[in-house]
Amino acid sequence: MTFASPFSLAITTMTALALLGLPIGLSMICGSVLYLWITGMDMGTAAEQFLNGMYSNYIILAVPLFILAAEIMNSGSMTERLLRFCNVLVGHMRGGLAQINVVQSLIFAGMSGSAIADAAGSGRMMQNMMTREGRYTPSYAAALTAVTAVIGPILPPSIPMVVYALVSDVSIGYLFLAGVVPGLLMTGMQMLQVAWDARRHNFPVEPRVSLREVPRVTWRALPTLLMPVILLGCIYTGVTTPTEAAALAAAYAVLVSVILYRSLSWREGYNAVLISAKTSASIGMMIGGALVFNYVVTIENIPETLRAVLTGWELSPIQFLLLVNVLLLLLGCVLEGTAILLIIVPVFIPAAQALGIDLVHFGVVVVVNIMLGLVTPPYGLLLFIMTNISGSPMKDIIRDCLPFLGWMLLCLAIITFFPDLVLWLPRLAGYAG
């Protein structure tokens, strides 16, 4: 492949347009159309790939529905009641508010599947609670909110896993189950780091909730806590598909917020739908652009070429996974996670299959890498969000993130070297991999 080849010109055009500020989805479409024009192919093929891919993949519908469910939760009082329940569980520990931040992300993960929804919703409330009366520094509260939000897309349901299932054609249900152990492992590591920080910095101890209050707080939070139980129960009992479960999650969030809690006004509901529509359109355009660009990549036979090259290197499965980890961690510093899933990961999948790597295990490794990218400078999207929410300099937030990043890298190493740990739950559910 020379610099003047059609594929090289398409890549150059796509990169240049993205750097100039054009959305990555449109940049991929423009680069792909240029390739089709130069090679003399029908440029209408781009529209055909876009429309066929978007309308024939029922799974894509899960993305906007999970986003809507998260926005409804944040607009109503579901998140607030969840925080009060978490206070009952761990609020009495030293550094209790920090532990609440970790636990609420664990529970919220079973409802939204989005790290950004977690950080922008409950994260804003946690930032205010932790910094009130100077109990925690704004940078530590922001860093903790950023790293705990990463748990969301690792545990089920998970929007990045939905996207990975789209490009790899593996079962979403098994992918969701495979994320449970890594998600719980990462949660435990974060709680250990918070406990260490609490002793080292003498974090405050919150007043213990009286036993008389526990039933009332639990009862008020029960409809919220039932959401992940209903959602995942419907998926794994076969009552609904994952896409139908996403619709159920959105409907349940509306039902609880409007009828039970009576905390969602018409204006708040409209804003939640509007934000969800904008976010979904952005992700949808990126998916559509990736479908068109992946057609060009397939024509150029890039996945098979890469598979042949890696086979020639005679890499073992572990060596291949380590190489992928390094590449994805580096790319995560400069690229958005969905773009990596849609553009880069499909190129690796044939090589992973050729090496006998289980695609469910590979998917979890990929998603954890991408989540690390959300809190890795310079591009880390969660770092930008928490800088905006907290008003703290990014360098201070990054400094406080570093110990947690170390734990997360350890978690990545564990799930890379021990695939049986990841595949244990899917195998219990009947997965043959």
Determine contact, residues 382/115, Cβ cutoff 8 Å: yes
What is the percent of the chain where pLDDT is above 90?
14
Cα 431 from Cα 433, distance rounded (Å): 6
pLDDT in tens, 401-431: 999 999 999 999 999 999 999 999 999 888 8
∠ CA 297-301-305, rounded to 5° = 120
The stretch 164-187 carries a mean pLDDT of: 89
Question: Is the peptide bond preceding residue 157 cis, with omega within 30 degrees of 0?
Answer: yes
The listed range with the strongest mean pLDDT (41-45, 137-141, 391-395) is: 137-141
Long-range CB contacts for residues 387-391, cutoff 8 Å, separation at least 24: 387/142, 389/119, 389/120, 389/123, 389/124, 389/127, 389/142, 389/145, 390/127, 390/131, 390/138, 390/139, 390/141, 390/142, 391/138
What residues have CB less than 8 Å from 16, skipping those under 6 apart?
Answer: none
The whole-number pLDDT of residue 408 equals 93
Cα 145 from Cα 137, distance rounded (Å): 12
What residues have CB less than 8 Å from 164, skipping those under 6 apart?
Answer: 170, 175, 341, 345, 363, 366, 367
Cβ neighbours, 10 Å, residue 191: 19
- The answer on pLDDT for 3 being more than 60 is no
Determine contact, residues 74/120, Cβ cutoff 8 Å: yes
Question: Is the peptide bond preceding residue 378 cis, with omega within 30 degrees of 0?
Answer: yes
Question: Assign residue 424 a region: left if phi > 0, alpha if psi is -120 to 50, beta otherwise?
Answer: alpha
Domain extent listing, the chain: 1-56, 57-429
Give 150's pLDDT tier (boundaries 50, 70, 90).
Answer: confident
Mean pLDDT of the chain: 81
> Whole-prediction pTM value?
0.79
Give 114's pLDDT tier (boundaries 50, 70, 90).
Answer: low
The whole-number pLDDT of residue 262 equals 81
- The answer on pLDDT for 185 being more than 80 is yes
Cα 163 from Cα 159, distance rounded (Å): 6
Structure tokens at 29: 């479409």
- The answer on pLDDT for 332 being more than 80 is no
Give me the half-sphere count of Cα atoms (radius 13 Å) on the Cβ side of residue 408: 26
Tokens 């790290």 sit on residue = 115
Strand partners, 82: none
What residues have CB less than 8 Å from 163, skipping those under 6 apart?
Answer: 63, 287, 338, 341, 342
**Residue 67 or residue 177, greater confidence:** 177
The whole-number pLDDT of residue 184 equals 92
The stretch 283-291 carries a mean pLDDT of: 76
Determine contact, residues 46/32, Cβ cutoff 8 Å: yes
Cα 342 from Cα 323, distance rounded (Å): 19
Q: How far is CA 276 from the centre of its chain?
A: 16
- The answer on pLDDT for 85 being more than 80 is no
Determine contact, residues 286/338, Cβ cutoff 8 Å: yes
Question: Assign residue 202 a region: left if phi > 0, alpha if psi is -120 to 50, beta otherwise?
Answer: left
Cβ neighbours, 10 Å, residue 281: 12
Q: Where are the alpha helices (DSSP H) in 300-316?
A: 302-313
Give me the half-sphere count of Cα atoms (radius 13 Å) on the Cβ side of residue 301: 5
The whole-number pLDDT of residue 56 equals 65
Cα 420 from Cα 248, distance rounded (Å): 32
